[in-house]
Amino acid sequence: MSRLEEKVIWSEKPTVLAFYDGLACGGLLAAASIAIYALFPATPYWWVPALGLALAALTVVFSFVRAWAYTYTLTEENLRREYRFFVSSTEEVPLRQVTNILVEQDVVGRLLSFGAIRADTAGTAYGGIIFRGIRNLDKAFKAMSEAKKAADKTS
């Protein structure tokens, strides 16, 4: 069955909150740049805090771009993670090869209501696939588990 003929069961983009590391770094860099400018307003090196603010903005924007560029898809036969921005990459794992589906949620994920789903494989060239930044973990996990059972029945 070709990719165009596959029935999509579930698809989602990650939440930008999943890239909290980039958001936090950008926020800290912006705060430090503003503090430096506030402490030394008459310095001839005014460009240092300006550069810090520009880098902070790029870091935050990059977190949003990462969230926007990824798409996670569950079809009747495959798990697929696609990245589309300047470059394009697609990672695909056949459901028949999946040995384990895990839900992972760190402290920040629990506080902000998102997590990751990892599908492991054994005996294949790829170790599995991770869907990071999933909002409704229960729904996604249930859909993947049911699709895995259906794929196992047909093979």
Collect all residues with Cβ–Cβ distance below 8 Å to 150 and sequence separation of at least 6: 76
Q: Is 132 helix (H, G, I), strand (E, B) or coil?
A: strand
- pLDDT recorded at residue 103: 95
User: Contacts for 4-9 with beta carbons within 8 Å, 24 or more apart?
Assistant: 6/75, 6/76, 6/77, 6/78, 7/75, 7/76, 8/73, 8/74, 8/75, 9/74, 9/75, 9/76, 9/143, 9/147
Neighbours of 76 (CB within 10 A): 15
- pLDDT recorded at residue 121: 87
- What span, in angstroms and rounded, lies between the C-alpha atoms of 144 and 155? 16
- pLDDT recorded at residue 52: 94
In order along its 155 residues, the chain shows pLDDT tens digits of 456 678 999 999 999 999 999 999 999 999 999 999 899 888 788 888 999 999 999 999 999 999 999 999 999 999 999 999 999 999 999 999 999 999 999 999 999 999 999 999 876 666 789 999 999 999 999 999 999 999 888 86
16, two tokens: 């930008």
Max Cα–Cα distance, the chain, nearest Å: 73
- pLDDT recorded at residue 124: 64
- pLDDT recorded at residue 40: 86
Give the right CATH number for 1-155 from 3.40.50.2300, 2.30.29.30, 1.10.260.40, 1.10.150.120: 2.30.29.30
- What span, in angstroms and rounded, lies between the C-alpha atoms of 22 and 42? 31
- pLDDT recorded at residue 23: 96
Q: What are the sequence ranges of the domains in the chain?
A: 1-155
